[in-house]
Amino acid sequence: MSSTSTETDRSSPFSKRQKRRVIAKLFFLVAGTLSFFLSVGLWFVTEDIQTAIYVGLWVPSLFSLGALVLAHEGDR
């Protein structure tokens, strides 16, 4: 192995798999958070209560899906 490959390995303390898991966590966290704020906006701004409740139900669904996907990813 050349010295450049060991330098590259040392520059990043995380593996590609760990980086992918962090990105997946961030994706589901951002999606759930945006869904929450969209639901609150629909509730107060447009006063469309049924749509706000529907969108609000996405939050636990997205977080549950994220937990399921990440738990399955850890099995490999």
The predicted-structure confidence for 15-61, as pLDDT tens digits, reads as follows: 888 888 889 899 999 999 999 999 999 999 998 899 999 999 999 99
Q: Grade residue 2 by pLDDT with cuts at 50, 70 and 90.
A: low
Q: Kindly tell me the sign of the dihedral angle through the C-alpha atoms of 59, 65, 68, 71.
A: negative
* Residues 69-76, mean pLDDT to the nearest whole number: 71
Q: What is the DSSP letter of 51?
A: H
CA nearest neighbour of 18 among 61, 75, 74: 74
Is the pTM for the entire model greater than 0.75? no
The predicted-structure confidence for 10-27, as pLDDT tens digits, reads as follows: 677 878 888 888 898 999
